Amino acid sequence: MKAPRVTDTSLRDGSHPMRHQFSVAQVRAVAQALDEAGIPVIEVTHGDGLAGSSLQYGFSATSEMELISAAKEVCRQAKIAVLLIPGIGTVKELKEAMERGAQVVRIATQCTEADVSEEHFEFAKKLGMEAVGFLMMAHMRPPEVLTQQARIMESSGADCVYIVDSAGAMLPRDAYERVKALKEALAIQVGFHAHNNLGLAVGNTLAALEAGADQIDGCLRGLGAGAGNAPTELLAAVLDKMGLNPGLDVYKLMDAAEYVIAPMMPYQPIPTRDAITIGYAGVYSTFLLHAQRAGERYGIDPRTILTELGRRQAVAGQEDWILDVALELARGAAQHTAH
Amino acid sequence: MEMEHQANEKIKVAIIGSGNIGSDLMYKLLKQPGHMELVLLTGIDPASEGLARARALGIQVSYEGIQTVLDAPDIKLVFDATSARAHLRHAPALRSAGKIAIDLTPAALGPYVVPPANLREHLDEANVNMVTCGGQATAPLVYAISRVTPLLYAEMVSTVASLSAGPGTRQNIDEFTETTARALEVIGGAKRGKAIIILNPADPPIMMRNTVYAIPQGEFDEAAVRASVEQMVAEVQTYVPGYRLKNPLVIEMRDTPWGRQPILTMLLEVEGAGDYLPRHAGNLDIMTASARRVGELFARKLLEGRQEAAA
């Protein structure tokens, strides 16, 4: 095994639990702490990527472009990454992000739909950016399908392709097999992005490393969607003990988690009953707060809504189906009572 | 009032493009020709299944693309179901040949046309654009609200089955979001529009689903909004029978960049007619059904012109 590159996505995946309310001051503080601790890549974007600010996902309090500039200003060594989900953001926003200092773009698609990203990879490479592919909800398809999809990204210019466990639904074996398949099939790097809904974010990340992952993701205090991600400070400590520390300052990351990000967090993401249900049912981690809100409004257990979304094979970004399902369940309950 | 013409009075029309959209439109024009007579379908691939199907149905076909259309002076109305890039070449050629172009690509050279909102405004144009499938599905609902109360913002989220998203959509997904967002402003009447598209690979395939959100500016008459939306759904159903709201309009208060505002949400499902494409492909069905309707109005107008000239 070799020391992986660690990307911190507190300022992107963490945007979900923050309800997209990050301020310029908060972004500066987090980015500076990460930069000083030796984190090489810091992702800053709305939780649903460039142009994610919407009624569907939640409006940003501060424009992500301002936040990208703010992070860029305080970083001395770290590169700024942005997330782009084709169908939500476009190359127009990517260009602006690049002009504001983003050097890496992570281009994400549902794990069966990689061909929608071809124009974005080509555009990113033309801009001279590093381009990383994200195959989201990768638990939904077997390794051979993911391999085909990863090849589409590779041939469009990707420098790396990630297996993304957006639902936090994988077991260590699932993570291992998927990363392994990509490592064997691709000439480029392979990454792994975990969610902690089943309490396996760090464990799955280690399984991915064993399968040869070159890049992994973390968030300070695990601040991310659902039960959060693999905590960056924990990954640093574990990697160090394994003799795989890529140059991270473990104590500085612990301090950043404790003194910088923890005070701004609205809650500590952990595998609560609703978050466990997300991993168990295999639905998108960002559904958590939306399902809780709909559950409260219509008097339905959020777990019932999440389980039904899993049965309908909802994919990344389909927050609008939550209202749809809640209304149907509420109608069903009303009819039941009437009988 | 629209003048009805003798059944034997028809305008000759052609379709360029023998892919999914061109084929589905062909079946619609054969099933319900109105005042149009489909005389030609052209493609560029001699091995195209679409051309073979058309030939089997007795339609003249050609694999020389637009040229055969240009060479036929009696064809007055042309549906372009190719690609935005091809349409940029086709548009001037059709114009100088004196043919009206109904553009089903995202090229958007001519004005957007969404039948229940602005169809009659552009019958003098030589080139009109059919926006996007999501635009045809959602702009009518946004328009239905904005004709009752002004809108600060409208947003649509379109979820289509992976199987019904062809290479045209996949390779130009940015064009979809940009064009659709603009249609919510230009046609829908919202001050700002936003569009999101999601492809869902579920098996069995899902029906086309659209969610439309709108933020009214100031107080609004809820009953009038609901009545206008219901009326609009009924109007679209006259040409897209599988167009329906899954629930009555939902209103809830949310924090927005304009402060705490009521959000109107409509959950729309579009089931295809199954003319050629499967029923889940409501996104393509609404495109071809709308194009057929636009073609029919142009055909009637051309026939009126002939009658006036004869009188």
Looking up residue A296, the CATH number of its domain turns out to be 1.10.8.60
A187 shares its domain with A314:
no
Alpha carbon distance B188, B181 (integer Å):
10
Alpha carbon distance A62, B1 (integer Å):
52
Q: Decide if B6 is inside a domain.
A: no
Asked if residue B78 has pLDDT above 70, the reply is: yes
Name the domain boundary from A229, A264, A299: A264
Cβ-contact A290, B212 below 8 angstroms:
no
pLDDT per residue over B85-120, tens digit each? 899 999 999 999 999 999 999 888 999 999 999 988
Question: What was the pLDDT predicted at A337?
Answer: 67
A212 shares its domain with A284:
no
DSSP conformational letter for B220: -
A75 shares its domain with A175:
yes
Nearest one of B216, B223, B233 to B154, comparing CA atoms: B216
A257 shares its domain with A281:
no
Q: Touching check for A18 and chain B: CB below 8 Å? A: no
Query: Which residues between 249 and 308 in chain A have a beta carbon less than 8 angstroms from any beta carbon of chain B?
Result: 297
B84 shares its domain with B162:
no
A196 shares its domain with A295:
no
pLDDT per residue over B156-171, tens digit each? 999 999 998 888 788 8
A259 shares its domain with A280:
no
B70 shares its domain with B177:
no
Q: Decide if B4 is inside a domain.
A: no
CATH number, domain containing residue B245: 3.30.360.10
Q: Inter-chain contact A54–B255, Cβ cutoff 8 Å?
A: no
Q: Residue B260: which domain range?
A: 133-278
Query: Does the annotation count B22 as an active-site position?
Result: no
Say how many domains are in chain A: 2
Say how many domains are in chain B: 2
Q: Touching check for A91 and chain B: CB below 8 Å? A: yes
Q: Residue A182: which domain range?
A: 5-264
Alpha carbon distance A234, A222 (integer Å):
9
Question: What was the pLDDT predicted at B311?
Answer: 67
CATH number, domain containing residue B35: 3.40.50.720
Alpha carbon distance A88, B174 (integer Å):
8
B146 shares its domain with B213:
yes
Give how far Cα B302 sits from Cα of B147, B239, B295, Å: 30, 21, 10
Q: Decide if B55 is inside a domain.
A: yes
Q: Which residues of B touch A317 (CB under 8 A)?
A: 196, 198
A56, A86, A113 member nearest B155 (Cβ): A56
Nearest one of B34, B41, B74 to B56, comparing CA atoms: B41
B171, B196, B254 member nearest A87 (Cβ): B196
Catalytic residue numbers of A?
16
CA distance B59 to chain A (A): 34
Q: Which residues of A touch B198 (CB under 8 A)?
A: 87, 110, 315-318
The model's pTM is: 0.95
pLDDT per residue over B245-288, tens digit each? 999 999 999 999 999 999 999 999 999 998 888 898 898 899 99
With an 8 Å Cβ cutoff, the interface of chain B facing chain A consists of: 153, 155, 157, 159, 162, 167, 170-174, 176-178, 194, 196-203, 206, 209, 211, 213, 215, 246-247, 250, 252, 254-257, 263, 265, 267
Per the residue annotation, which of B36, B113, B128, B133 is the catalytic one? B133
Cβ-contact B152, B215 below 8 angstroms:
yes
Asked if residue B203 has pLDDT above 50, the reply is: yes
Name the domain boundary from A245, A264, A283: A264
Q: Inter-chain contact A323–B257, Cβ cutoff 8 Å?
A: no
Secondary structure, 3-state, B75-137: EEEEEECCCHHHHHHHHHHHHHCCCEEEECCCCCCCCECCHHHHHHHHCCCCEEECCCHHHHH
Q: Inter-chain contact B170–A92, Cβ cutoff 8 Å?
A: no
Q: Inter-chain contact B198–A315, Cβ cutoff 8 Å?
A: yes
A184 shares its domain with A311:
no
Q: Inter-chain contact A110–B196, Cβ cutoff 8 Å?
A: no
Give the residue from chain B lying closest to A141, CA to CA: B201
Give the residue from chain B lying closest to A317, CA to CA: B198
Q: What residues in chain A have per-residue pLDDT under 50?
A: none
Alpha carbon distance B38, B47 (integer Å):
21
CATH number, domain containing residue A170: 3.20.20.70
Question: What was the pLDDT predicted at A245?
Answer: 98
Q: Inter-chain contact B201–A112, Cβ cutoff 8 Å?
A: yes
> Is residue B6 very low, low, confident or very high in pLDDT (cuts 50, 70, 90)?
low
A150 shares its domain with A100:
yes
Cβ-contact A197, A168 below 8 angstroms:
yes
Give the residue from chain B lying closest to A121, CA to CA: B171
β-pairing, B75-80 vs B100-103, is parallel
Q: Which residues of B touch A92 (CB under 8 A)?
A: 174, 178
Question: What was the pLDDT predicted at B3?
Answer: 52
Alpha carbon distance A267, B189 (integer Å):
40
Q: Decide if B71 is inside a domain.
A: yes
A150 shares its domain with A92:
yes
> Is residue B2 very low, low, confident or very high in pLDDT (cuts 50, 70, 90)?
very low
| Crossing angle of the two packed helices A91-99 and A118-126, in degrees rounded to 10 | 30
Task: Order the strands of the B11-16 sheet from edge to edge.
Answer: B60-62, B36-42, B11-16, B75-80, B100-103, B127-129
pLDDT per residue over B287-310, tens digit each? 999 999 999 999 999 999 888 777
Q: Decide if B295 is inside a domain.
A: yes
Alpha carbon distance B198, A75 (integer Å):
34
Question: What was the pLDDT predicted at B283?
Answer: 86
A160 shares its domain with A295:
no
Name the domain boundary from A220, A246, A264: A264
Would you state the structure tokens that stand for residue B137, as one six-digit string?
Answer: 């599905």
Q: Decide if B1 is inside a domain.
A: no
Query: Which secondary-structure segment (H or E) carries B37?
Result: strand B36-42
Classify B213 as helix, strand or coil: strand
B73 shares its domain with B89:
yes
Distance separating the N- and C-terminal Cα atoms of chain B = 19
Give the number of A-B residue pairs with CB atoms closer than 8 Å: 99
Cβ-contact B135, B254 below 8 angstroms:
no
DSSP conformational letter for A40: S
B141 shares its domain with B272:
yes
**CB neighbours (10 Å) of residue A270?**
14
B140 shares its domain with B261:
yes
Q: Inter-chain contact A313–B255, Cβ cutoff 8 Å?
A: no
Q: Inter-chain contact B203–A313, Cβ cutoff 8 Å?
A: yes
Alpha carbon distance A218, A13 (integer Å):
9
A55, A313, A314 member nearest B213 (Cβ): A55
B185 shares its domain with B256:
yes
A320 shares its domain with A196:
no
A183 shares its domain with A253:
yes
B137 shares its domain with B125:
no
Q: Inter-chain contact A315–B257, Cβ cutoff 8 Å?
A: no
